[in-house]
Amino acid sequence: MKFRVVAEYFDKLEEISSRLQLSATLADLFRVTEKTVLDKVVYLIQGKLWPDFSGLPEIGLGEKLLIKAIALGTGREEKEVEITLRKTGDLGEVAYSLKGEGESSGLLAYVGGVEGELTVEEVHEKLSKVALATGSGSRDVKIRTMAGLIKRATALEAKYIVRFVDGKLRLGIGDATVLDALSQAFGGSKTEVERAYNIRADLGQIAKLLAEGGPEAISSVKVTVGVPVRVMLAERLADTEEIMEKMGGKALVDYKYDGERAQIHRKGEKVTIFSRRMENITSQYPDVVLWTKDYVEAEEVICEGEIVAVDPETGEMRPFQELMHRKRKNDVQEAIAQYPVNLFLFDLLYLNGQEYITKGQLERRRKLEEILKKGQDKIRIAESIIVEEKGKLEEFFFKAISEGAEGVMVKSIAPEAIYQAGARGWLWIKLKRDYKSEMADTVDLVVVGAIYGRGKRGGKLSSLVLAAYDESSDTFQTVCRVASGFSDQELEEMQNLIRKYTIPHRHPRVNSNAEADVWVEPALVMEVRGAELTLSPMHTCCLGAYREGMGISIRFPRFIRWREDKSPEDATTTTEILEMYRNRLKKIESETEETV
Ligand code: ATP
């Protein structure tokens, strides 16, 4: 398939301003894509060469090398490339304009082929070569391969190839949009396609399967060791009575550990660890890999737990930030010694050829206990009890906190309480320590726009427009502007971060009445604490859901930290915000009653 077609669609997609049009156009692209390369096209759309879980490196070509490659590929001096970059600020545009000028000379005489003849396979293959080149001489291989691609590309193709490599494809198309477009293009209900993706989270593979085998192929998708299952998530509540009610009077209650979620896949001697975002994090935890082989007694298994940092001296739990050292350290062995961890398992998804996700909570837990070797303390089962009344729940909650946990996870033990892959539902409810603060819990919001500061912060993007995720429309709805909580250094670092995602107009998946000096592709998630939730006509979050013409906004929000472990679709949802607002009102009402 000609890469030109893909580039032309990328160009169209960039101009679109509505979410519906986005998925319709994407569906058109899928229809004209040859089935054999559909997986590759899906990855490219998401700015990737392969799924994150593959553990293969992403393309890493810094700006300097990319400039060299553009110069070489367009027959210009590096200086000229740099000057054009200063004007446009976008290397993709640079490649486009430098190629464009050359195009009038017709087909370039080039030994390796002519412009406009590139296929998707070739582009993917060459980019993979760039990504995978390592060791001495790899720098040259990368530059030459890129230059070769640029040389053979049309101006438009070059623009998108370069943007891709520069990490700035800026299409901002999330999984849900792709799934939507897939079912439009090839039939199969959206729910069925989603189900398949939830249990085998390889979007490219699912796309290909659907295109080649139709809806039947999709309905027979099963959990596969080695391909992550999308994680099950919890709703939140602050009131223990309400929690017990939701659970039908009886529930399993676990400590909510403050670490990193790990989905562990074992097939014989091969162990792979996936993060909450389904990235392959195996290399950070060689200790956990070893323990899994030694202590999880199963030939083939998928289980889940939380990796928690522990104090090397006392064995007590440490906050999750400690795990960050593991990510930064180059010397893993040293990191293992300096920042030891424990693994607390809480779920079983698959065991020796049998899916467990469709089984009840208690059966999963029992089996998990059965396959975990006794007499060791590296891998443990999450501390838990069964409760039948709220007093016991509260007692256990305080015990959890006193031992360094974040709170508790309350889990339904009803027979239908399966592992709901990829869903946030009421089968799990989290009760966290910070619910006791003014605004129940912090929220994770997505940056969709930014505004320049004044005075001391003049010329700097210093106020960010933040949005919650609306699952039903797959859009981001604004909820507040945050301008405080950043240290000087954080503010400085933020400038480049935001610029990386700046786009010329409001993103089609962003629903906003708020104004912004620059618009930002929904990609960055930050944790924010607010003072309270109020109705507001300024924001689109939950617009009309509580009162006509009014949205819900967060007052006095403060930046806490970036949540790199969350994708924009993992941000706090509009439904959660509505729930938080209602709970707050209830609390105020009951407090008023008490004082009366
Ligand atoms: P948060 O922002 O509070 O970390 P989240 O949005 O990542 O939450 P939630 O579903 O709200 O995800 O909370 C569940 C998270 O809590 C899981 O992703 C997991 O990492 C962690 N966790 C810790 N202990 C447990 C447990 N016993 N059972 C399930 N999840 C647990």
The pLDDT assigned to 548 comes to 84
The pLDDT assigned to 585 comes to 75
Q: Between the CA atoms of 562, 563, 568 and 570, what dihedral angle is there, to the nearest 10 degrees?
A: -150
Give me the percent of the chain exceeding a pLDDT of 70: 94
pLDDT band at 525 (very low <50, low <70, confident <90, very high): very high
Determine whether the shortest distance from the Cβ of 48 to ligand 1 is under 6 A.
Answer: no
Q: Is the pLDDT of residue 108 over 60?
A: no
Nearest to 115 by CA among 99, 98, 91: 99
536-571 in b/e burial notation, b at 16+ Cβ within 10 A?
Answer: beebbbbbebeeeebbbbbeebbbeebbebbbbbbb
Alpha-carbon gap, residue 262 to 478, rounded angstroms: 31
The pLDDT assigned to 105 comes to 41
Determine whether the shortest distance from the Cβ of 276 to ligand 1 is under 6 A.
Answer: yes
Q: Which CATH number belongs to the domain containing residue 376 in this structure? A: 3.30.470.30
pLDDT band at 123 (very low <50, low <70, confident <90, very high): very high
pLDDT band at 226 (very low <50, low <70, confident <90, very high): very high
In this structure, are 418 and 514 located in the same domain? no
Contacts of 434 (CB under 8 A, 6+ apart): 440, 441, 442
Mean pLDDT of 351-362: 97
CA of 235 to the centre of ligand 1 (A): 10
Alpha-carbon gap, residue 325 to 286, rounded angstroms: 14
For residue 347, the one-letter residue type is D
The pLDDT assigned to 358 comes to 96
Determine whether the shortest distance from the Cβ of 306 to ligand 1 is under 6 A.
Answer: yes
Give me the percent of the chain exceeding a pLDDT of 90: 70
Mean pLDDT of 7-27: 93
Q: Which CATH number belongs to the domain containing residue 127 in this structure? A: 1.10.3260.10
Alpha-carbon gap, residue 444 to 229, rounded angstroms: 22
Alpha-carbon gap, residue 115 to 252, rounded angstroms: 63
The pLDDT assigned to 433 comes to 67
| Alpha carbon distances (Å) from 89 to 105, 324, 496 | 26, 32, 12
Whose C-alpha lies nearest to ligand 1, atom 17? 261
What is the rounded average pLDDT for all residues in the chain?
90
For residue 404, the one-letter residue type is G
Residue to mutate (ligand 1; options 232, 255, 257, 260; most atoms within 8 A of CB): 257
Determine whether the shortest distance from the Cβ of 261 to ligand 1 is under 6 A.
Answer: yes
In this structure, are 422 and 519 located in the same domain? no
CA of 205 to the centre of ligand 1 (A): 28
Report residue 388 as tokens.
């039948």
Q: Is the pLDDT of residue 104 over 50?
A: no
Q: Is the pLDDT of residue 518 over 90?
A: yes
Q: Dihedral sign, CA of 169, 509, 229, 28?
A: negative
In this structure, are 281 and 408 located in the same domain? yes
Q: What is the DSSP letter of 200?
A: S
pLDDT band at 427 (very low <50, low <70, confident <90, very high): very high
Backbone angles phi, psi at 523, to 5 degrees: -145, -30
> How many domains does one find in the chain?
3
Q: Is the pLDDT of residue 329 over 90?
A: no
Determine whether the shortest distance from the Cβ of 277 to ligand 1 is under 6 A.
Answer: no
Whose C-alpha lies nearest to ligand 1, atom 2? 444
Domain limit, last residue, from 405, 434, 463: 434
In this structure, are 471 and 556 located in the same domain? yes
Nearest to 222 by CA among 361, 359, 354: 354
In this structure, are 471 and 395 located in the same domain? no
pLDDT band at 428 (very low <50, low <70, confident <90, very high): very high
The pLDDT assigned to 593 comes to 58
Residue 192 lies in a domain: no
Alpha-carbon gap, residue 162 to 88, rounded angstroms: 14
The per-residue pLDDT for range 375-384, each reduced to its tens digit, is 999 999 999 9
The pLDDT assigned to 115 comes to 65
Nearest to 287 by CA among 267, 316, 310, 317: 310
Alpha-carbon gap, residue 432 to 436, rounded angstroms: 8
The pLDDT assigned to 34 comes to 96
Question: Sheet containing 251-256: which strands, arranged edge to edge?
Answer: 233-236, 424-432, 407-412, 251-256, 384-387
| Alpha carbon distances (Å) from 92 to 156, 327, 535 | 9, 31, 42
Q: Is the pLDDT of residue 114 over 90?
A: no
Report residue 568 as tokens.
């924009």
Of the residues 142, 168, 256, 566, which is catalytic? 256
What number does the ligand 1 atom closest to the CA of 570 have?
6
CA of 257 to the centre of ligand 1 (A): 8
Q: Which of 37-41, 78-82, 433-437, 495-499 is least confident? A: 433-437
Q: Is the pLDDT of residue 337 over 90?
A: no
Residue 108 lies in a domain: yes
Residue 159 lies in a domain: yes
Q: Which of 102-106, 134-138, 195-199, 579-583 is least confident? A: 102-106
Q: Is the pLDDT of residue 116 over 80?
A: no
For residue 344, the number of C-alpha atoms closer than 13 Å in the C-beta half-sphere is: 17
Q: Which CATH number belongs to the domain containing residue 558 in this structure? A: 2.40.50.140
Q: Is the pLDDT of residue 4 over 80?
A: yes
Q: Is the pLDDT of residue 249 over 60?
A: yes
Q: Is the pLDDT of residue 437 over 50?
A: no
The pLDDT assigned to 109 comes to 41
Q: Is the pLDDT of residue 342 over 70?
A: yes
pLDDT band at 454 (very low <50, low <70, confident <90, very high): confident
Whose C-alpha lies nearest to ligand 1, atom 20? 261
In this structure, are 461 and 388 located in the same domain? no
In this structure, are 294 and 384 located in the same domain? yes
pLDDT band at 591 (very low <50, low <70, confident <90, very high): low
Q: Is the pLDDT of residue 2 over 80?
A: yes
Nearest to 527 by CA among 482, 489, 488, 497: 482
Residue 13 lies in a domain: no
Q: Is-contact 211 252, C-beta < 8 A?
A: no
What separation, in Å, do the N-terminal and C-terminal C-alpha atoms of the chain show? 73
In this structure, are 299 and 361 located in the same domain? yes
Q: Is the pLDDT of residue 153 over 90?
A: yes
Residue 194 lies in a domain: no
Alpha-carbon gap, residue 115 to 161, rounded angstroms: 14
In this structure, are 475 and 352 located in the same domain? no
Backbone angles phi, psi at 342, to 5 degrees: -130, 160
Mean pLDDT of 336-359: 95
The pLDDT assigned to 363 comes to 97
- The Cα diameter of the chain in Å comes to 88
In this structure, are 450 and 544 located in the same domain? yes
Mean pLDDT of 79-100: 92
Q: Is-contact 381 368, C-beta < 8 A?
A: yes
What is the reported pTM? 0.79
Domain limit, last residue, from 385, 409, 434: 434
Residue 460 lies in a domain: yes
Mean pLDDT of 514-523: 92
The pLDDT assigned to 54 comes to 92
The per-residue pLDDT for range 462-517, each reduced to its tens digit, is 899 999 999 999 999 999 999 889 998 999 999 999 999 999 899 999 999 888 99
Residue 487 lies in a domain: yes
Domain of 126 in residue numbering reads as 48-166
Q: Which of 105-114, 302-311, 434-443, 568-577 is least confident? A: 105-114
The pLDDT assigned to 113 comes to 52
In this structure, are 402 and 290 located in the same domain? yes
Q: Is-contact 250 393, C-beta < 8 A?
A: no
In this structure, are 469 and 388 located in the same domain? no
Residue 18 lies in a domain: no
The pLDDT assigned to 348 comes to 98
Q: Is the pLDDT of residue 72 over 60?
A: yes
208 is catalytic: no
pLDDT band at 346 (very low <50, low <70, confident <90, very high): very high
Domain limit, last residue, from 434, 467, 502: 434
The pLDDT assigned to 592 comes to 54
